[in-house]
Amino acid sequence: MRNRLLAVATIQQRFFQDKTQAPLNEKFLLIATTVTSRIDLATQCNALADQVQKIGSVKLKPELARVETHVTAKSPYRLCFMIGELEKKIRSDPVGTAAIF
């Protein structure tokens, strides 16, 4: 029974992720670009990644080539993961976790 509940939770998490990931990526990219533009380190990392790409010794994945796209790629996954974890807590102890809300 427990395995069945975990499978349902995983399916629900994937459904939520599939339906929301594209819109969230757009919003997160805007936020990530705004925040990382304020950080000089992000500019330096992007410049270093550009140099590495030009040399051609290391082929970076598109999501790793820029700090903004890396953060954007990871954010929706982490959000969905955290929502899934919270849902697991609620399902395991509905009364005890009601105090969260």
pLDDT, one tens digit per residue, over 31-78 is: 888 888 887 778 888 888 888 888 877 777 777 788 888 888 888 778
Predicted local confidence at residue 8, as pLDDT: 62
- Domain ranges (residues) in the chain: 2-92
pTM: 0.57
Give the relative orientation of helices 67-92 and 2-38 as an angle to the nearest 10 degrees.
150
- % of the chain with per-residue pLDDT over 70: 87
Name the burial class of residue 32, with classes exposed (0-12), middle (13-18) and buried (19+) by CB atoms within 10 angstroms of its CB.
Answer: buried
Q: Which amino acid is at 68?
A: E
Find all residues with CB under 8 Å of 59, minimum gap 6, and list them: 53
